[in-house]
């Protein structure tokens, strides 16, 4: 019996344990800063909107999973 081959190329995703660095809400965006440290910042949708211009300007790699936010909780 052969086990099915699972694709392992799925991108990393955020989990419920990832929390916004600013307010502690569930994070839906991860920004990885360029450079040797590769520092990762986590943001809720609200705070990502606030910091997005600066993050993009700094060349951060953005993992945006805001499509997963329940419409009812988007403040």
Least distance to Zn ion from the beta carbon of 19, Å? 8
- When binding is defined by CB under 5 A, the residue of 20, 29, 31, 55 that contacts Zn ion is 20
Phi, psi of 45 (to 5 degrees): -60, -40
Q: Which range, of 11-19, 28-36, 45-53, 57-65, touches Zn ion by CB under 5 A?
A: 45-53
Cα separation, 39 vs 32, in Å, equals 6
Q: Does 23 bind Zn ion (CB under 5 A)?
A: yes
Distances 20 to 36, 49, 62 between C-alpha atoms, Å: 23, 12, 14
Answer yes or no whether residue 47 interacts with Zn ion by CB under 5 A: yes
Helix (H, G, I), strand (E, B) or coil at 36: coil
Site membership for Zn ion, residue 31 (CB under 5 A): no
């Amino acid at each position: 019996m052969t086990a099915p081959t699972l694709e392992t190329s799925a991108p990393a995703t955020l989990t419920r344990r990832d929390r916004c660095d600013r307010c502690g809400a569930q994070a839906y965006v991860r920004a990885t800063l360029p450079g040797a440290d590769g520092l990762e910042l986590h943001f809720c949708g609200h705070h990502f909107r606030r910091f997005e211009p600066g993050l993009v300007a700094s060349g951060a790699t953005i993992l945006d999973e805001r499509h997963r936010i329940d419409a009812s909780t988007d403040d």
